[in-house]
């Protein structure tokens, strides 16, 4: 097994060899910076970061010495990263590992537009149960206080129906346990259960521990919000969670004093919040970016990342709408 120190050294050796092969006869200096290989010469700056949990771009943007012109090395093509760097003011070139050398990143393939639709009666059913209809990643969902509790599915013969539950496991459980219960009854029961626990004065409960960035966006849309925003609309996140417990940044587009604001909410030390926001700027141009976060989550690394955005960014601490007592038995 290779420990973290050995892996860091191996990545440094690998990256330097790749760069020197592509750009021979140059004097390169290499060192480790923020879990990345940082390789520089008089004319070039290269960053190589390999991490299973954090993207290479997210790590690179935390490096204080990065500068305004640099190169990012990827193990394989990633067209999402190409879209993300379009939202940065810095000049970043992408390279892909090609055997024992580097090759320019291929041009992005155009994405097929996604077609969303929802039956009118199904929309009414969701809205009557306090849900907001969300279109994201080819799916139509009903969110209650930022938590998806229903999803539109399609039967083999093409008819749409609602799968109700918090996450795939919960949806499957309801199919088995409540197989003869009308979907209207199941949806109402789950909605009431979520409303019972998803508020500040609740006891700590799994239903108020998940999807917190989406919850912050929901609070920003609330009439009780003191952010002074209007025309707030959720926008699809460029990141797709693998399960309901994964906390990913959530975004919206809004107005304030006739200025277009791109909102991104995150919790914890989420290094993907800035790259995700940069990616959204291609589809949702704005004049300002606001990062909404709990008071204790204004991390310096995320602020350093945001300095590379082409749009001015502000970090705005907002009170947590969830209970903040330590986790106990529920």
Render pLDDT for 87-135 as a digit per residue (tens, 0 to 9).
Answer: 999 999 999 999 999 999 998 765 666 667 788 999 999 999 999 999 9
Predicted confidence (pLDDT) at residue 304 exceeds the cutoff of 90: yes
Q: How many domains does the chain have?
A: 3
Mean pLDDT of the chain, nearest integer: 89
* Residues pairing with 151 in the sheet: 141, 163
User: Exposed/middle/buried for 146, CB within 10 Å: 0-12, 13-18, 19+?
Assistant: buried
Give yes or no: residues 210 and 313 share one domain.
yes
Say yes or no to pLDDT of 39 above 70.
yes
Q: Is the pLDDT score of 269 beyond 90?
A: yes
Radius of gyration of the CA atoms of the chain, in A? 22
> Do 266 and 295 reside in the same domain of the chain?
yes
Q: Any idea which of 74-83, 119-128, 236-245 has the lowest mean pLDDT?
A: 236-245
Answer yes or no: is 252 within a domain: yes
Same domain, 234 and 162: no
pLDDT at 329 over 60: no
Tokens of 305: 């990342």
Residue 30, pLDDT > 50, answer yes
Residue range of the domain that includes 127: 120-197
Q: What is the per-residue pLDDT for 265?
A: 98
Co-location of 219 and 299 in the same domain? yes
The pLDDT score that the predictor gives to residue 219 is: 94
pLDDT of 328: 44
Q: Round to whole Å and give the CA distance between 271 and 61.
A: 9
Residue 304 included in any domain: yes
For residue 330, is pLDDT > 50? Answer: no
Q: Do the domain assignments include residue 81? A: yes
- Domain end among 197, 214, 233: 197
pLDDT of residue 172: 62
Residues 43 and 76 both lie in one domain: yes
Could you say which of 165, 197, 229 is where a domain stops? 197
Supply the pLDDT for residue 278.
Answer: 97
305 falls within a domain: yes
**What per-residue confidence (pLDDT) applies to 327?**
47
Based on the domain organization, do 210 and 193 belong to the same domain?
A: no
Residues 135 and 91 reside in one and the same domain: no
The encoded tokens of residue 317 equal: 């601490």
Mean pLDDT across 137-158: 89
Identify the band that residue 158 occupies on the pLDDT scale cut at 50, 70 and 90: confident
Same domain, 158 and 238: no
Looking up residue 254, the CATH number of its domain turns out to be 3.40.1350
Together in a domain, 81 and 146: no
Q: Report the 10 Å Cβ neighbour count for 9.
A: 13
Residue 200 has pLDDT above 80, yes or no: yes
Co-location of 254 and 191 in the same domain: no
Residue % of the chain over a pLDDT of 90: 69
Domain boundary among 168, 197, 226: 197
Residues 21-50: what's their mean pLDDT?
Answer: 92
Q: What is the pLDDT of residue 315?
A: 98
CA distances, 297 to each of 96, 126, 305 (Å) = 33, 33, 14
pTM comes to 0.90
Q: Tell me: do 129 and 63 sit in the same domain.
A: no
Residue 217 lies in a domain: yes
What single DSSP character describes residue 316? Answer: E
Q: For residue 15, is it within any domain?
A: yes
């Amino acid at each position: 097994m290779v420990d973290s120190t050995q892996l860091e050294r191996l990545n440094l050796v690998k990256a330097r060899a790749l760069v020197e092969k592509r750009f021979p006869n140059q004097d390169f200096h290499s060192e480790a910076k923020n879990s990345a290989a940082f390789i520089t010469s008089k004319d070039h700056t290269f960053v190589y970061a390999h991490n299973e949990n954090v993207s290479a771009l997210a790590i690179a943007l935390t490096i204080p010495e990065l500068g305004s012109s640099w190169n990012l090395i990827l193990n394989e093509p990633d067209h999402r990263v190409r879209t993300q760097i379009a939202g940065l003011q810095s000049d970043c070139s992408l390279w892909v590992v090609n055997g024992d050398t580097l090759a320019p990143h291929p041009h992005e393939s155009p994405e097929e537009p996604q077609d969303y639709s929802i039956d009118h009666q199904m929309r009414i059913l969701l809205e009557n149960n306090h849900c907001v209809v969300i279109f994201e990643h080819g799916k139509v969902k009903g969110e209650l206080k930022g938590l998806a509790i229903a999803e539109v599915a399609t039967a083999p013969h093409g008819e749409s129906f609602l799968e109700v539950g918090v996450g795939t496991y919960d949806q499957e459980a309801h199919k088995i346990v409540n197989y003869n219960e009308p979907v209207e009854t199941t949806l109402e029961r789950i909605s009431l259960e979520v409303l019972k626990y998803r508020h500040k004065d609740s006891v700590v409960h799994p239903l108020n521990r998940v999807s917190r960035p989406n919850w912050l966006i929901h609070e920003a849309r609330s009439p009780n919000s003191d952010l002074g925003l209007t025309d707030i609309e959720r926008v699809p996140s460029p990141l797709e969670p693998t399960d309901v417990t994964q906390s990913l940044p959530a975004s919206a587009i809004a107005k304030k004093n006739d200025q277009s604001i791109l909102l991104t909410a995150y919790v914890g030390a989420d290094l993907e919040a800035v790259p995700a926001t940069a990616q959204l700027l291609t589809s949702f141009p704005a004049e300002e970016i606001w990062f909404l976060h709990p008071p204790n989550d204004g991390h310096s690394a995320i602020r350093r990342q945001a300095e590379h955005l082409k749009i001015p960014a502000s970090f705005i601490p907002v009170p947590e709408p969830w209970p903040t007592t330590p986790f106990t038995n529920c």
